């Protein structure tokens, strides 16, 4: 009977630890999925732009100014998120997209959040129509880095093959 009790205790301990590990893995996978999805939307927006205004070639900045497919000036920039910064103990930002008002078309100004919980975001202009995006996001105390190079579709379609 004592052997059965010890065996049952070991099985119970292994099962409870596996459930805890499964919960950690599922929350990390969900967080990574949400961050990647937001990052892909950002990549698509940048890729569909007509021109990169700032930063200049070879420069790295925490903001990006571009002209979108409707020739509107769009700015991506970081704003500090005080609640998340207090919760995580480090400076946390939100990546915002600002589109100014265009009275000729009747479009109001838009200022919307693109990605939350950003620790660091930099944009590096690489040649004509290329931008390197470097993102570090913190979710539930863990950092998720994402790096990508984007080339504008409008410029790449004009180049000879």
pLDDT confidence of 140, banded at 50, 70, 90? confident
Residue 84 inside a domain? The answer is yes
Structure confidence at residue 18 (pLDDT): 59
Residue 102 is given by DSSP the state: B
> What DSSP element (H or E) covers 145?
strand 142-151
3-state class percentages of the chain: helix first, strand second, coil last, to nearest 5:
35, 40, 25
Distance CA 143, CA 141 (A): 7
- Domain span holding position 139: 2-156
Number of domains in the chain: 1
Over residues 138-158, the mean pLDDT reads 78
pLDDT in tens, 4-45: 666 666 666 666 665 565 555 566 677 777 778 888 888 888
Cβ-based neighbour number of residue 49 at 10 Å: 22
pLDDT in tens, 73-126: 899 999 999 998 888 888 999 999 998 887 777 777 888 988 888 999 999 998
State whether residue 1 is helix, strand or coil.
coil
Residue 116 inside a domain? The answer is yes
Is the per-residue pLDDT at 157 higher than 60?
no
Residue 161 inside a domain? The answer is no
End-to-end CA distance of the chain: 78
Residue 50 inside a domain? The answer is yes
Cβ-based neighbour number of residue 132 at 10 Å: 14
Structure confidence at residue 161 (pLDDT): 41
């Amino acid at each position: 009977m004592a052997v059965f009790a010890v065996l049952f205790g070991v099985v119970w301990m292994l099962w409870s630890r596996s459930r805890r590990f499964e919960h950690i893995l599922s929350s990390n996978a969900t967080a990574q999925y949400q961050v990647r999805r937001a990052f892909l939307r950002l990549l698509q927006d940048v890729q569909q732009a007509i021109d990169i205004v700032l930063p200049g070639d070879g420069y790295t900045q925490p903001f990006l100014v571009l002209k979108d497919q409707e020739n509107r000036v769009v700015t991506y920039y970081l704003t500090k998120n005080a609640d998340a910064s207090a919760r995580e103990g480090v400076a946390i930002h939100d990546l915002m997209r600002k589109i100014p008002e265009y009275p000729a078309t009747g479009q109001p100004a838009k200022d919307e959040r693109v990605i939350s919980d950003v620790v660091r975001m930099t944009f590096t202009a690489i040649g004509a129509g290329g931008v390197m995006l470097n993102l570090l996001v913190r979710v539930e105390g863990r950092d998720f880095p994402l790096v990508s190079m984007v080339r504008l579709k409008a410029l790449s379609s004009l180049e000879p093959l």
